[in-house]
Chain A
Amino acid sequence: EAGVAQSPRYKIIEKRQSVAFWCNPISGHATLYWYQQILGQGPKLLIQFQNNGVVDDSQLPKDRFSAERLKGVDSTLKIQPAKLEDSAVYLCASSSGGRQETQYFGPGTRLLVL
């Protein structure tokens, strides 16, 4: 079974530029999550999708961050414009749902904002 795929793996941009990340979840997984992991910290949930609907985006900085999952499969996360403090690893995870669901994480995209 293929795991969660993410691209790009690394991205370096200047502040005020835009950037987009892509995630392809495990086939058949209805739930998709985007986490932000700042160096030295644990991942923090940004947004959760159930199929193509948003379940929780309470911690997403909506003035600059946006995410979509139009067909209920792949997802993109965008930052526009980026700030220095956005430098982090952006992790995508997926799960099949249910109480004892297991979230499977992708390798992450490492973003450096200069």
Chain B
Amino acid sequence: GQQLNQSPQSMFIQEGEDVSMNCTSSSIFNTWLWYKQDPGEGPVLLIALYKAGELTSNGRLTAQFGITRKDSFLNISASIPSDVGIYFCAGQLNAGGTSYGKLTFGQGTILTVHP
């Protein structure tokens, strides 16, 4: 099946620093998504990317859909303590039939922000 490799596995940063994480796939996706999961909660969508090469921002977050459709990155600028959590990338094929809607998730990046 499709595999997503997300890196780094964890990050420890100071408040105010910028953060970058990325995700690579062995196969193509039509949609890339970035989620954040807080302890005891389900993942919450941060940014969705629908087109190869697309660069999208949501406040301090910026994400890009790689040209090859096999990778994506997420940047967080000027980190704050509430950015703490686990960040997941997810790919969606949207090929129709049984692949429609199914998300394939990366392993997650654990972010710790020191005040």
> A: which residues have CB within 8 A of B?
4, 31, 33, 40-45, 48, 55-56, 58, 91, 93, 95, 97, 99-108
Which residue of the partner chain A has the closest CB to B45?
Answer: A102
Closest 5 CB pairs of A and B: A42-B105, A105-B42, A56-B98, A105-B43, A42-B88
Chain B residues whose C-beta falls within 8 Å of the C-beta of A43 in the assembled complex: 43, 88, 103, 105
> What are 13 A-to-B residue pairs whose CB atoms are below 8 Å?
A40-B107, A43-B88, A55-B100, A55-B101, A91-B43, A99-B31, A100-B50, A101-B101, A103-B45, A103-B101, A105-B42, A107-B40, A108-B40
Q: Give Cα distance in the complex from A102 to B101, angstroms.
A: 9
Q: Which residue of B lies closest to A41 (CB)?
A: B107
Q: Which of A4, A42, A44, A104 has the most CB of B within 10 A?
A: A42
Q: Does B44 contact A (CB under 8 A)?
A: yes
Minimal beta-carbon separation of B89 from chain A (angstroms): 8
Mostly, the A contact residues are: loop
Contact (Cβ within 8 A) B102 A56: yes
Contact flag A48-B101 (CB < 8 Å), given A40-B107, A41-B108, A42-B107:
yes
- Contact between B102 and A45 (Cβ–Cβ < 8 Å)? yes
Contact B48 A100 (CB under 8 A): yes
- Give the interface size class of chain B: 20 to 34
Are B90 and A48 in touch, CB under 8 angstroms?
Answer: no
Chain A residues closer than 8 Å to B100, beta-carbon distance: 55
Contact flag A106-B101 (CB < 8 Å), given A42-B107, A100-B50: no
- Distance in angstroms from B100 CB to nearest chain A CB is 7
B68 at the interface (CB under 8 A from A): no
From residue A32, how far is it (CB to closest CB) to chain B in Å?
10
Given A40-B107, A42-B106, A42-B108, A95-B101 contact (CB < 8 Å): yes
Known: A42-B90, A107-B40. 18 other contacts (CB 8 A): A31-B101, A33-B103, A40-B107, A41-B108, A42-B4, A42-B88, A42-B108, A44-B105, A45-B102, A45-B103, A56-B98, A58-B98, A99-B50, A99-B94, A100-B48, A103-B45, A104-B45, A108-B41
